[in-house]
Structure 1
Amino acid sequence: MGECDTGYVDEIAYTFGYCDELNPLRLKLPLLYAGLVPPSVGNACELGFGHGVSVNIHAAGSSTQWHGTDFHPPHAHFAQQLAERAGSQAQLSGERFSEFCRRDDLPDFDFIGMHGIWSWISEENRALLAEFIQRKLKPGGVLYLSYNTQPGWTPMLPVRELMHRHFQIGAQSAQHDGMTAEARMAARIKDAVGFAQAVFATQPGYAVVNPLLAERVEAVSAERPEYLAHEYFNRDWHPMSFLQVASSLTAAGLSYGGSADYRDHVDEINLSAAQRALLAGIADTGLRESARDFCVNRSLRRDYWIKEPRTLTDDERDTALRAHRVILALPRASVALKVRGALGETTLPEALYGPILDALSSHRPVPLSDIERDVRARGITLAQIVEAVLLLISMGALLNAQHDAQISAARPSAEQLNAAICEQARHHDDVHFMVSPVSGSGVFMPRLPQLFLLARRHQMQQPAQWAEFAEAVLRADSESSQKAKASPSTVSLADLTAKAQRFAQLHLPLLQALGIA
């Protein structure tokens, strides 16, 4: 059903992105840090899963039983195919929320995730989802919710309205006749963004009092139509304040648990001393989070909400934190000790972070208790370790790690999903993530490394062989896509061989440690 019927732009499929915050393992560390009991996640649900890259990775990378829905048929079909190839038993449907949420065959859930959906659906659907969460989320269960928020989005509200009106008028335009529905939609989006650029080129008064908006509009113009269609051009588009969202979720029996963005748990990189002092004096959660959003000019919130949360004593909290495991996911020498928070880029102290990284240099899952033991002589405390680990995970240097029994259970389905993703790389450059059974999460993997791994799966052992295999695939793909053009593009075997050798030396050992290769 098209955009004119639902208000949701479905002529263009969404991107093939991955959202790590939808991984239930990720919620454990920030909830423990806040002194809250994280759930043991047996059943999980993702609402509005797009192409299903995240839900399939998380289903294949753990023993959690996943359910979910996305009403867009191409999305649901792609996700279902991935689930079938992985053998993960993920139950993924193409139902609308109004159908899915009223099913009587769904289990109660320990975790429910929604990435972005809350901002792009009608008030009626938000009420429906809130009722579903209230009814189906178990006591102690967690909701992950991300949504566009204010005040960061506030200046863009009239710009979006301007573009959307042009987009609506474009539906009646005859100049795109003869195109496919997808191409016609992409052209309408391009025209609407171009109109906003034209308005800003006249230096309107609104741009004068909001000088950063022109750069933001230019940034929008550089995005792909697949992203813009769903981010800006749905009929329902509601950047909501924390208090507005909290009103719905507290009525559904949930309490705010904390941010899913690990960087938010380290105030020093986000807030000035005066801001930290101000927020420390605010007891009310809603007022404090609202004031914090003003301080950092937040435009996207990533939040955990808990149904009937249980608190830990200090001793229980520290014991659970010490048992939490992480793994170094980059070469030790490649970890740049810089992190970007709301205050800009911060350089992290080598005296603190160096010893912690050294304790992880084996590239094996390590509990925080082992790190604490190794760095104790340097006077580094558990609190400092937890804060450092939060930031290192946010930077991609570390990954949360499952326990050994969970890793072993996840290996077969992770292997099957990774094989399916690598096989798709023969003909498509869509999915850029593979699943690690160690972390239960996605690991960024572009097409070329996928082809190298595919060559290894076909018993090619040497980097030169991987390069030759990749060259043949890319050349065939290039020639096929260039049939109507004068000449196909060429691929340098020498360049591919150098990349394959670098992959073998630097990346392959890490992928083996993560259970991907």
Structure 2
Amino acid sequence: MTGLAHEYDNEIVYTHGYCDELNPLRARLPLLHAGFDYPVIRNACELGFGFGVSANIHAAGSDVHWYGVDADPRHSAFAQQLADDAQTPAHLFPGRFAEFCRRDDLPDFEFIGLHGVWSWIPDEDRATIAGFINRKLKPGGVLYISYNTQPGWAAMMPVRELMHGHFMASRSHHTGGNAPDERHATERIKAAVAFAQKVMAARPGYAHVNPSVIERVNRLCEENPRYLSHEYFAHNWYPASFLQVAQALEPAGVTYLASADYRDHVDSINLLDAQRDLLADIDDLTLSETTRDLCINRSFRRDYWIKQPRALEPNERLAALRAHRLILPVPEWAVSLKIRGALGETTLPEAVYRPVLQAMADARVTTLGAIEREVSKAGITLEQVIEAVKLLIAAGPVLNAQDEQQIQVAQSSARRLNTVICERAYDSDALQFLASPVSGSGVAVPHVAQLFLLAAMRGFKEPRQWAEFAQSALSGTQANDGAANMPAPLTPDHELVEKAVRFAEVFVPALKMLLIGEVD
């Protein structure tokens, strides 16, 4: 996120979200598949880290030294406190982009990432970031950038202006000219959304020619006000086209590589035949991506760019791809073969995907080469394996995996961070991800599951004991002796006991494979 000091005067803090695309390891497969060398990542940087959930998880879950900046003091204070409590190797600074990018104590980076913030900052900050990338991203280094884009946002732009105008007009009424607080800001956001819904109910001509707008406006009331605050009510809001972003990044000296959303790599789930034929005849990359966005009506882009890439020889490329490591931490039979692309939900072919999943089902880290050897007897090629793996990673059940040395190095730091997050779960449900030293990424572990894991960390052995512990935590009951964070025994409800049993049967095996927690 940017900050209060550059007209990004957002009165509400952002969500405690996690972004997997900010994990540098995720860029490795697209990079190798495109025929380029993947750099050894020693130093990485996140610009606009929000509450620092991704930065802390990636620093704790790998051997990478992470740096970052966020100008909202509420965000940076939380992020740094989390890093301090967990002794996470992350250097997270408060301040504006212009200040951070002028620092002379930063290393050069093999990876720079910014998630969403490009859409919420002024032009001068975008120019500052482009200059920073040009100076500090090493040759061969990767840039991850995501942003709101057209044409998917085009229809909502007048509605956003409508709501933003209502929001700003109500500011003085709520504050009397004083700085507004978060409660009042939330009320004004809800009022602005209600006003937009009222306008839509009046059947304006704009909604008649853009009928999808009505449904989108009606869904806004289901969204977290913290998300709405930053997505619709920030002072700067800029849904850029790919062409505009490419032009803005020209001074950075980077070249577009591929989408960070692995689903985009498979045309069959996103494009009609006529659209694929159309794109095949477009030689210019920028024009091709802009046309593709029109074909699928894209509203959000997640992109990898690369600086001065080193092309691999064909044999180098194949060797590197076959050495790429993966893990399937859930039972093969439990994996759904449905995925949603731009064309809607698609059922993936059993004849290819089941053999690939079965080749990964030995509860260990494997490689693309090992999968290829196993499934070749069914006539499945390496390219088919790569496509299948990409979609299985996009869908969630398969994860990229680090080298053994990286896994060993990251175990202690990941354990510290996960312990701190689970301890915080006793009082808060804000953080919903834990760090895996196997994947170097965040893994979704819901609040109640974190409480079960915390109970196991404290020596409770049985699912019913975990449920009792969680019941006490959720009810806010403390032990009779007043010991901090030691819940008094409570009889858990049947549903909570069932959740604890499911946690033991489903979550615990997966967490063990990912080296998360210490559950016997």
Q: TM-score if structure 2 supplies the norm length?
A: 0.94
Q: Map 1:498-513; keep pairs closer than 5 Å.
A: 498-513=498-513
Secondary structure of the equivalent of 1:45?
strand
C-alpha change, 1:332 and 1:209, in structure 2 (3 Å) is same
- Cα RMSD (Å): 1.8
Deviation at 1:135, TM superposition (A): 0.7
Deviation at 1:476, TM superposition (A): 1.2
2:60 partner letter: A
C-alpha change, 1:273 and 1:259, in structure 2 (3 Å) is same
Deviation at 1:493, TM superposition (A): 2.6
Secondary structure of the equivalent of 1:172?
helix
The answer to whether the 8 Å contact 1:163/1:195 transfers is yes
C-alpha change, 1:4 and 1:26, in structure 2 (3 Å) is closer
1:177-210 CA distance string (max 9 Å, x none): 9997010111111111111111101010000000
1:336 partner letter: S
Deviation at 1:5, TM superposition (A): 5.7
C-alpha change, 1:477 and 1:56, in structure 2 (3 Å) is farther
The answer to whether the 8 Å contact 1:9/1:230 transfers is no
Q: Map 1:264-413; keep pairs closer than 5 Å.
A: 264-413=264-413
Secondary structure of the equivalent of 2:249?
helix
1:135-190 CA distance string (max 9 Å, x none): 11111111100000011111111111111111111111148999970101111111
Secondary structure of the equivalent of 2:186?
helix
C-alpha change, 1:159 and 1:388, in structure 2 (3 Å) is same
Deviation at 1:284, TM superposition (A): 0.7
| Count of matched residue pairs | 505
Deviation at 1:328, TM superposition (A): 0.5
Q: Map 1:466-505; keep pairs closer than 5 Å.
A: 466-476=466-476, 492-505=492-505
Secondary structure of the equivalent of 1:67?
strand
Deviation at 1:23, TM superposition (A): 0.1
The answer to whether the 8 Å contact 1:422/1:454 transfers is yes
The answer to whether the 8 Å contact 1:427/1:477 transfers is no
The answer to whether the 8 Å contact 1:463/1:497 transfers is yes
C-alpha change, 1:249 and 1:221, in structure 2 (3 Å) is same
Unaligned runs of 5+ in 1: 479-489
Q: Map 1:206-217; keep pairs closer than 5 Å.
A: 206-217=206-217
- Answering whether residue 49 of structure 2 is matched by residue 27 of structure 1, we say no
C-alpha change, 1:179 and 1:224, in structure 2 (3 Å) is farther
The answer to whether the 8 Å contact 1:9/1:233 transfers is no
The answer to whether the 8 Å contact 2:67/2:91 transfers is yes
Q: Distance in 1 between matches of 2:260 and 2:296?
A: 16
C-alpha change, 1:498 and 1:141, in structure 2 (3 Å) is same
1:256-289 CA distance string (max 9 Å, x none): 0111000011011001111111111111110100
Paired position in structure 2 for 1:260: 260
Paired position in structure 1 for 2:62: 62
Q: Distance in 2 between matches of 1:134 and 1:178?
A: 41
Q: Percent identity?
A: 57
2:403 partner letter: H
Q: Distance in 2 between matches of 1:112 and 1:335?
A: 33
Secondary structure of the equivalent of 2:145?
strand
2:439 partner letter: S
The answer to whether the 8 Å contact 1:148/1:239 transfers is yes
The answer to whether the 8 Å contact 2:3/2:70 transfers is no
1:351-394 CA distance string (max 9 Å, x none): 10001111111221101111111111101100000000000000
The answer to whether the 8 Å contact 2:56/2:90 transfers is yes
Q: Distance in 2 between matches of 1:476 and 1:50?
A: 29
2:504 partner letter: A
1:347 partner letter: T
The answer to whether the 8 Å contact 1:151/1:241 transfers is yes
Paired position in structure 1 for 2:251: 251
The answer to whether the 8 Å contact 2:44/2:65 transfers is yes
1:235 partner letter: H
Paired position in structure 1 for 2:223: 223
Q: Distance in 2 between matches of 1:180 and 1:277?
A: 53
Q: Map 1:74-153; keep pairs closer than 5 Å.
A: 74-153=74-153
The answer to whether the 8 Å contact 2:451/2:470 transfers is yes
Paired position in structure 1 for 2:481: none
Q: Distance in 2 between matches of 1:227 and 1:77?
A: 20
1:362 partner letter: D
Paired position in structure 1 for 2:486: none
Q: Distance in 2 between matches of 1:278 and 1:511?
A: 45
The answer to whether the 8 Å contact 1:176/1:184 transfers is no
2:171 partner letter: A
Paired position in structure 2 for 1:485: none
Secondary structure of the equivalent of 1:49?
coil
- Answering whether residue 234 of structure 2 is matched by residue 234 of structure 1, we say yes
2:93 partner letter: S
C-alpha change, 1:95 and 1:4, in structure 2 (3 Å) is closer
Q: Distance in 2 between matches of 1:507 and 1:3?
A: 38
Q: Map 1:160-199; keep pairs closer than 5 Å.
A: 160-174=160-174, 181-199=181-199
Secondary structure of the equivalent of 1:173?
helix
1:317-346 CA distance string (max 9 Å, x none): 111110001100322222110011001111
Q: TM-score if structure 1 supplies the norm length?
A: 0.95
Q: Distance in 2 between matches of 1:477 and 1:55?
A: 33
Paired position in structure 1 for 2:483: none
C-alpha change, 1:238 and 1:179, in structure 2 (3 Å) is closer
Q: Distance in 1 between matches of 2:203 and 2:410?
A: 56
- Answering whether residue 32 of structure 2 is matched by residue 43 of structure 1, we say no
1:216 partner letter: R
C-alpha change, 1:492 and 1:218, in structure 2 (3 Å) is farther
Q: Distance in 2 between matches of 1:368 and 1:3?
A: 43
1:459 partner letter: G
1:419 partner letter: T
Deviation at 1:252, TM superposition (A): 1.8
Q: Distance in 2 between matches of 1:52 and 1:98?
A: 19
2:469 partner letter: F
The answer to whether the 8 Å contact 2:467/2:492 transfers is no
1:67 partner letter: Y
Paired position in structure 2 for 1:486: none
Deviation at 1:290, TM superposition (A): 0.6
Deviation at 1:314, TM superposition (A): 2.3
Deviation at 1:248, TM superposition (A): 1.5
The answer to whether the 8 Å contact 1:14/1:50 transfers is yes
Q: Distance in 1 between matches of 2:40 and 2:425?
A: 35
1:454-490 CA distance string (max 9 Å, x none): 0111111111111111111111179xxxxxxxxxxx9
Q: Distance in 2 between matches of 1:97 and 1:140?
A: 24
Unaligned runs of 5+ in 2: 479-489
1:108 partner letter: D
1:163 partner letter: M
